[in-house]
Amino acid sequence: MSDSDRTAASLEQLLDRVERRQTTVGVIGLGYVGLPLALAFHESGFPVLGFDIDSGKVDQLAAGGCYIDHLDGARVARAVASGGLAVTCDFERLSEADALLICVPTPLDRHREPDLSYVEATARQIGRRLRLGQLIVLESTTYPGTTEELLLPILAASGLECGREFFLAFSPEREDPGNRDFAATVIPKVVGGADEASSRLTAALYRDVFQQVVPVSSTRAAEATKLTENIFRSVNIALVNELKTVYEAMGIDVWEVLDAAATKPFGFMKFTPGPGWGGHCIPVDPFYLSWKAREYGLRARFIELAGEVNVEMPRYVLGKLQDALNDRGKAVRGSRVLILGLAYKSDVADPRESPAFEIIARLVELGAAVSYHDPLIPEAPAMRTWPDLPAMKSVELGEQTLERQDAVIIVTRHSAVDYALLAAHAALIVDTRGVYRQPAANVVRA
């Protein structure tokens, strides 16, 4: 039997095991992406083994707990209790999984360049234990070329051949934390393999869990797909943020304009302005492509300009605060300022890359006494990007708290907040989210 015949026979055996749900799926990284993915595979009948370096997370999951607020904790408890979802910090067990799905962070470093240290470290852990017939899929968002330029050489150093003895693909995560309209398995799954066999095997695996699988020609095309989605959002967020500043200078209500424009049934998609950008994707992913473009002697000008506009938004908000306080005969120094919302978007307990932290940091530098209220985040977490922020806990949003403040800045629009109470008792509100549509003496839009 030729090598190609043996490869075909091996692939058919693997595909048969996938079809019969006998494939053990390993998920590396049990965060906002990895844990929902592990649950989806478990609930589709696959045995699942979850890996994480955080022993606290593993212990909590093993005890039937859940640290992600928008996930149903009962789902996690049932999955673990059934024995169908096991969790561990022991990476020696990587060889137990037939498919390993990598869902680890891909942040930017302090120079706003890609930090692939988590991906590389994970690949090296896998490479030391790689065995015949395993499928490796990277889900972490990254620049085109990462799967084949970084992962493939590390895995191939095992002596096994990609496409014949092990398989490799990229399938970008498309999670939207807190979005109840689109569960993980409803969102179409893009799949790109390093070779035809890897593509076929990966598509078959995901097709058993996701309602739709979208195969593309390569890992690079799949990597570029995810970046394109997030760059689209980044550019449009920057556009409406810039329109906000221009229309404000003209005395035009940007929220009214956007609502009116959104009535057009074609050719327009509504984005809303705010105090900046946040989350695990939008402030990070576009810079992966602009960084990679430099390798080809190109400059991604739209991406970079959108970044500049969005990064400037917290300063714009603070400028509006300073002007409003000055009009009231006050300085920022010594003023009591309440930040309303730490989360990066409405009704989630996710503070990653939230503009609230930059606003807090700059207010502290200016000498303000800063507090915050967020009904979903009782204690401000330590932030890698802002390591020097003071420890803070959410304060109660009552009449007395509001009346003690010189200003309140609405950073996140949570539905659980009583905005009528806020309007009645706050001396000054800096509204970055269009909460108050009618003019009021104590409301300044930013």
* Per-residue pLDDT reduced to its tens digit, 1-19: 455 555 665 788 889 889 9
Report in angstroms the alpha-carbon separations of 277 from 178, 300, 353: 17, 19, 8
Instruction: Please name the helix (run of DSSP H) or strand (run of DSSP E) that holds residue 379, with its range, or none.
Output: none
Query: Residue 419's pLDDT is what?
Result: 97
- CATH fold of 3-222, please? Rossmann fold (3.40.50)
**Six token digits for residue 82:** 């059934």
Over the chain, what is the mean pLDDT?
94
220-230 pLDDT tens trace: 999 999 999 99
Q: Which residues of 417-433 are buried (b: 16+ CB within 10 A; e: fewer)?
A: bebeebbebbbbbbbbb
Whether residue 72 is predicted with pLDDT greater than 90 in this model: the reply is no
Is CATH 3.30.1330.20 what the domain over 254-445 is classified as, yes or no? no
Is 169:193 a contact under the CB 8 Å cutoff?
yes
Instruction: Indicate which residue of 66, 103, 162, 281 is catalytic.
Output: 281
Q: How far apart are CA 262 and CA 256, in angstroms?
A: 10
Say what the pLDDT of residue 1 is: 46
281 tagged catalytic? yes
Q: What is the pTM of this model?
A: 0.91
pLDDT(181) > 80 = no
pLDDT (average), residues 206-212: 96
The two structure tokens encoding residue 316: 């714009």
Q: Does the pLDDT value for residue 182 go beyond 90? A: no
Amino acid at 413: R
Does the pLDDT value for residue 379 go beyond 60? Answer: yes
Write the Ramachandran bin of 421: left for phi over 0, alpha for psi from -120 to 50, otherwise beta. alpha
Q: In which band, very low, low, confident or very high, does the pLDDT at 101 lie, cut at 50, 70 and 90?
A: very high
Residue 244 has pLDDT above 60, yes or no: yes
The pLDDT value recorded for residue 6 is 55
Q: Which residues contact 304 (CB under 8 A, 6 or more apart)?
A: 290
Amino acid 109: pLDDT: 84
Question: What letter would DSSP give residue 162?
Answer: B
Residue 113's pLDDT is 87
- In the predicted structure, residue 31 carries a pLDDT above the cut 60: yes
Structural domain spans, the chain: 3-222, 254-445
Closest residue by Cα to residue 273 from 308, 229, 304, 236: 236
**Greatest mean pLDDT among 101-115, 164-178, 250-264:** 250-264
Instruction: Assign 176 to helix, strand or coil.
Output: coil
Q: Which residue has the higher pLDDT, 4 or 68?
A: 68
Place of tokens 């869902």: 103
Averaged pLDDT, 279-284: 82
pLDDT at 267 over 90: yes
The DSSP string of 40-88 is HHHHTT--EEEE-S-HHHHHHHHTT----TTS-HHHHHHHHHHTSEEEE
- Non-local (6+) Cβ contacts of 407 within 8 A are 321, 324, 325, 335, 336, 337, 338, 426, 427, 428, 429, 430
Q: For residue 342, give the nearest of 378, 307, 389 by alpha carbon.
A: 378
